[in-house]
Amino acid sequence: MKAYEYVNIHIGKFVGAGSEAHRAIIDEYAAKGYRYVGYIPTNINNYGKITDLDLVFERDA
């Protein structure tokens, strides 16, 4: 069985194109024994831009 952890990221001025903030989060969860498995957009604005997303991590339960 797998256990999942979701980390919400707001894509604004500091996180987005050219940002490396997501790398620190992925490294942090890898150190805790999680594996990054993907992302899920949780909010999209009227122009089609993703403004919030969940990073998804898993590990054996």
User: For the chain, what's the residue count?
Assistant: 61
DSSP state of 12: S
CA distance 15 to 2: 29
Q: How confident is the model at residue 55 (pLDDT cuts 50, 70, 90)?
A: very high
Q: Residue 51's closest CA among 19, 6, 10?
A: 10
- pLDDT 10s digits, 20-36: 788 999 999 999 999 99
DSSP string computed for 28-51: HHHHTT-EEEEEEEEEE-TTS-EE
Q: Where are the domains of the chain?
A: 2-60
